[in-house]
Amino acid sequence: AIIMATARGRLSFKLLKQALNTTTKLASFVVFILIGSTIFSLVFQGVDGQKWVEYLLTGLPGGQTGFLIVVNLLIFFLAFFLDFFELSFIVVPLLAPVAQKLGIDLIWFGVLLAVNMQTSFMHPPFGFALFYLRSVAPTKEYTDRITKKVVQPVTTMQIYWGAVPFVLIQIIMVGLIIAFPGIVSSGLDKAEVYDPDKIRLQMEADMPKEDSFEAPQPDAGASTGAEPIPMPQPEAIEPAAVDDKDPLKPRQDAGSSEKK
């Protein structure tokens, strides 16, 4: 967008400042939504709210199919009043544990909810795509510079009705994903399942039999009798020689003579 604005000569410091302010506000909104949803989740878990939701949704008739139908209707209804961020941070963490308990693949379940939550951009009263289109659609008659034709203004109701076919397409996609899960899960790496019985049989087949072991044969020329092993004899210790020049010897002799 900056390159296009520069190429057309419309980029200015005032326009850049306005764009930065708007971006900062939107980013702040998202951060506060994340903080609020986190606090809500902690409080909800503190009062064991997830157990209530789990008990309510696991008791629905129809098993997995009934759970998916009810959840998608709930998401579609909430999308009229909540956008993608609130649904992702608040509602999805409550539904994921229940789906996992029912044996639903969480990756497939996440894709299904994402397709459903895309409708939040396209239906009133809080559809972002409708607001974007409203901001660029003409509100008054004007003459096109290229075709020189008069273009009629676009009303808000026309924008709303124009989004209906796209919402229907999203609903059809949700139904197709539920009816044909392979659309999503066919490209995923499946976990390998091992049969313990087959592993044990394979190990037993690979182990050598007892008959295959041969005892070592002694050499023909080797003696079978046990021969005594000669033990080394200790060497005689000679007494240490007395040094005649020992300075203490005269004193020892004198002491012995006095005793006598």
pLDDT surpassing 70 at residue 135: yes
Contact (Cβ atoms closer than 8 angstroms) between residue 93 and residue 106:
no
pLDDT surpassing 70 at residue 191: no
Average pLDDT, the chain: 77
The CA–CA distances, whole Å, from 133 to 121, 145, 153, 167, 238 equal: 11, 21, 13, 16, 116
pLDDT band at 197 (very low <50, low <70, confident <90, very high): low
Q: What is the pLDDT of residue 172?
A: 92
What residues form DSSP beta bridges with 150?
143
What average pLDDT does this structure show over 35-45? Answer: 82
The distance of Cα 254 from the centroid of its chain, to the nearest Å, equals: 98
| Residues across the chain | 260
User: What is the C-alpha separation between 74 and 214, in angstroms, rounded?
Assistant: 74
Q: Where are the beta strands (DSSP E) in 7-157?
A: 142-143, 150-151
Contact (Cβ atoms closer than 8 angstroms) between residue 151 and residue 138:
yes
CB under 8 Å, gap of 24 or more: what pairs does 241-249 form? none
pLDDT surpassing 80 at residue 113: yes
pLDDT in tens, 158-185: 888 888 898 899 999 999 988 888 888 7
Tell me the HSE value of 41 on the side-chain side, using a 13 A CA sphere: 16
Nearest by Cα to 95 from 55, 53, 56, 39 = 53
What average pLDDT does this structure show over 125-139? Answer: 81
Contact (Cβ atoms closer than 8 angstroms) between residue 242 and residue 253:
no
| Across 23-27, 67-71, 194-198, least confident range | 194-198
pLDDT surpassing 70 at residue 214: no
User: What is the C-alpha separation between 147 and 154, in angstroms, rounded?
Assistant: 18
Q: What is the pLDDT of residue 252?
A: 58
Residue 22 backbone class (left: φ over 0; alpha: ψ -120 to 50; beta: rest): alpha
What average pLDDT does this structure show over 94-110? Answer: 88
Instruction: List phi, psi (to 5°) of 150.
Output: -85, 125
